Amino acid sequence: MDDAELIRAIEDNTAELLLAMGEAGGGRQRSDGVRWSIGGSPLDYHNAVVGCLVEDGAAADRVVAESLQELRDSGVPGCWHVGPSMRPLDLGDRLLAAGFSYGGPEPGMAVRLADLREAEADGLRIERLIEVDQLEVWAQTLGRGFGEGVKEAEWVASVYRQLGLADPWRHYVGYLDDEPVATATVLLAAGVAGLYFVMTVPEARRRGIGAAITAAVLREARDSGVEYAVLGASPAGRSIYARLGFRELCAVHLYEWALPEE
């Protein structure tokens, strides 16, 4: 893949994740040049608009207004994930004018898996989930330090119970001395391995565990024939992924809308 193809794969893999999770959660889908899943999650990030190809400014304003109405009707917060392919180019300004707030950029990164650098952490054992019941441990671990904590972990686990554990979904837990300390998820879509939900519990951080579980799950993807991996980096993870060989290729800009306070 060249850089342009990788940028599109970054957008498409994330879109597939958000749309599939939203649908499993009961969200309403749209796919007519505008792509979203709204109403399936209590989390703004996952009530997601992930595609917009509208060249006319007035038409774009209508789509923004329609997404807001969908959020209000569903009674949930939401988020536009504005990637490089989305149009019009001033979409961010239109979202701000409509009442969204800017949540910042999410760096899009990619690596050719043949170039992935090795990383290990002493005593770390990594298991891939093969039974749905194992999602309980995965969720309990994720809830100790990721995003919105237990609220997010429980919802994510609930939709993965619906989606199942077979490809294209792969979920992992990392253990130290039989204590779960880390999580990761891989989605095989858009021709690449997308990396998500990489988290180390607070008391086990700064020991190389995040890098080690990332390298291990992506080696498994590489060994199954996948050539590239992509991700949207958090501020904390950006430098870790760069040390593993990931390159930053784009940014997906987040525009968030919260429910009005009563």
CATH of the domain at 132: 3.40.630.30
Does some domain include residue 262?
no
Whether residues 19 and 56 share a domain: the answer is yes
Task: Quote the percentage of the chain above a pLDDT of 70.
Answer: 100
Average of per-residue pLDDT values in the chain: 97
One domain, residues 184 and 148: yes
Question: Are 233 and 125 within one domain?
Answer: yes
CA 190 to chain centre: 14
Residues 213 and 148 in one domain: yes
Determine the average pLDDT of the residues in 200-215.
97
Enclosing domain of residue 88 = 3-106+252-257
Is residue 262 predicted with pLDDT exceeding 80?
A: no
Domain shared by 34 and 147, yes or no: no
Residue with tokens 């749905």: 132
130 and 17 fall within a common domain: no
Question: CA–CA separation, 220 vs 229, rounded Å?
Answer: 11
Same domain, 85 and 9: yes
Q: What are residue 214's DSSP bridge partners?
A: none
pLDDT digits (tens, 9 = 90+) for 21-53: 999 999 999 999 999 999 999 999 999 999 999
Q: Are residues 131 and 236 in the same domain?
A: yes
167-204: pLDDT as tens digits:
999 999 999 999 999 999 999 999 999 999 999 999 99
Q: Which residue has the tokens 């850089």?
A: 3
Number of domains in the chain: 2
- What local confidence, expressed as pLDDT, does residue 161 receive? 97
How do 78-82 and 48-52 pair as beta strands? parallel
- 137: tokens are 């441990």
159 domain residue, yes or no: yes
Confidence at 235, pLDDT banded by 50, 70, 90? confident
What is the model's pTM?
A: 0.96
Give strand ranges (E) for the chain: 28-31, 34-38, 48-52, 78-82, 101-112, 124-128, 169-176, 179-189, 192-200, 228-232, 247-257
Question: Does residue 122 sit in the same domain as residue 102?
Answer: no
Give yes or no: residues 57 and 152 share one domain. no
Using pLDDT thresholds of 50, 70 and 90, give the confidence band for residue 55: confident
Asked if residue 224 and residue 117 are part of one domain, the reply reads yes
Q: Over the stretch 109-149, which tens digit does the pLDDT of each residue have?
A: 999 999 999 999 999 999 999 999 999 999 999 999 999 99
Same domain, 102 and 116: no
pLDDT at site 85? 97
In a domain, 47, yes or no: yes
pLDDT at 254 (0 to 100): 98
142 within a domain of the structure (yes/no): yes
| 187 HSE (CA, 13 A, CB side) | 25
